Amino acid sequence: MTHARLTPLAAALPSTVPFVGPEEMERQRGAPFTARLGANENGFGCSPRAVAAMQAASEEIWKYGDSSSHDLREALAAFWSCRPENIVVGQGIDGLLGDLVRLTVAPGDSIVTSLGGYPTFNYHVAGYGGTIHTVPYRDDHEDLPALIARAAEVDAKLVYFANPDNPMGNYLPGAKVAEALEALPEGTLLILDEAYAELAPEDAATPVAMDDPRVIRMRTFSKGYGMAGARVGYAIAEAPLIAAFDKVRNHFGMNRTAQIGALAALQDQDWLAHIRAEVASARERIGAIAAANGLNALPSATNFVAIDCGRDGAHARALVAAFAEEGIFIRMPGVAPLDRCIRISCGPAAELDRLEAVFPQVLARVATPA
């Protein structure tokens, strides 16, 4: 009988995904979640102007999307005071990470990332046969100088650094990022994942040119702009690197309606300001809920809050499971010592009401299991 013949690399990879989605978890538990506070989505919604634009565009869904995302790239270039040649639009940051790894990482090539940091980058590197080197967090923060020093030791092609960070929620002031860049080895590219930057303080912005050849910035419409389901992200870098994406990207991978919605969202900065206020309020409330239950919420520059549960990963996993039993979807970091925490996304008041109501019950149940 004939069958597909996987490459040796693909055959050796584990059958896994970086995240199990909440829909799959709902199917497994046989019931929907009443509070969706685990995927760092923007439960406050996207711009009404974006919704209206996508609704109007839906009648032309029979058309392929613009393969160059021309209008969105032009608008983004104007927004960032750079050239359209410095921007590529892709299927979220996750898709762009996959394209970048395909462009730069051959079997055996080294990359450097943080132990316990965002796992999808590692997933792509493993898929192309790269060698992953990790650096531990320092005081719950990604250690950018140590990442760069490790890159010099292993001749890394790429260094991955998220600012603000996921899963811990903190950030490094942009001036410190620029300072650390001075030690970046020749031939190493820093991936600056700025997925949560729209929600961060102003001093998180990194003061380096958009076409600085040492850096590729990655942004998304999934978080602050509230369009996670549309899968629209973009990268900003020097023009030759951006042009190279045309060698490997899925040219018709961008949904036409999503492109139009993202353009409308970008043009509605008043709505983004509204979202920033909603997220800030929700962060404060999650922190207050944690404090009321004797736990410590870590400072956050994102749309989620990491809560230190004061024990170990087993305890935090038990809490995540217990919240799921109550219909509340949350997540947690996967590596010690970060995994002493649970991570709760900002959400609408009704969902935080539910979280607040069950929090003491969950803690009591985990403290005294049946």
Q: Is the pLDDT higher at 43 or at 14?
A: 43
| Distance separating alpha carbons of residues 36 and 138, to the nearest angstrom | 30
Digit-coded pLDDT (tens) for 296-328: 999 999 999 999 999 999 999 999 999 999 999
- Structure token digits, residue 355: 């979280």
| Distance separating alpha carbons of residues 74 and 80, to the nearest angstrom | 10
Q: DSSP state, 296?
A: E
Give the per-residue SS3 of 96-129: HHHHHHHHHCCCCCEEEEECCCCCHHHHHHHHCC
H or E element at residue 304: strand 304-308
Please report the pLDDT score of residue 369 as a whole number.
Answer: 64
Please report the pLDDT score of residue 15 as a whole number.
Answer: 84
- Structure token digits, residue 257: 């309606």
The CB density around residue 361, as the number of other CB atoms within 10 Å, is 12
Model-wide pTM > 0.85:
yes
Alpha helices in the chain (DSSP H): 8-12, 22-29, 48-57, 70-80, 92-104, 120-127, 144-154, 174-181, 239-244, 256-266, 269-292, 313-325, 349-367
Domains of the chain: 19-45+270-367 (3.90.1150.10), 48-267 (3.40.640.10)
Residue 370 pLDDT exceeds 70: no
| Distance separating alpha carbons of residues 174 and 146, to the nearest angstrom | 17
| Contact predicate 58/68, CB 8 Å | no
- Structure token digits, residue 227: 């369009």
Q: Which residues contact 226 (CB under 8 A, 6 or more apart)?
A: 41, 42, 44, 45, 46, 47, 265, 275
What rounded mean pLDDT belongs to the chain? 96
Q: DSSP state, 298?
A: P
Digit-coded pLDDT (tens) for 25-61: 999 999 999 999 999 999 999 999 999 999 999 999 9
Task: Name residue 87's beta-bridge partners.
Answer: 236
| Contact predicate 191/216, CB 8 Å | yes
* Section 233-247 average pLDDT: 98
What's phi and psi for 348, nearest 5 deg? Answer: -60, 160
Question: 161 in helix, strand or coil?
Answer: strand
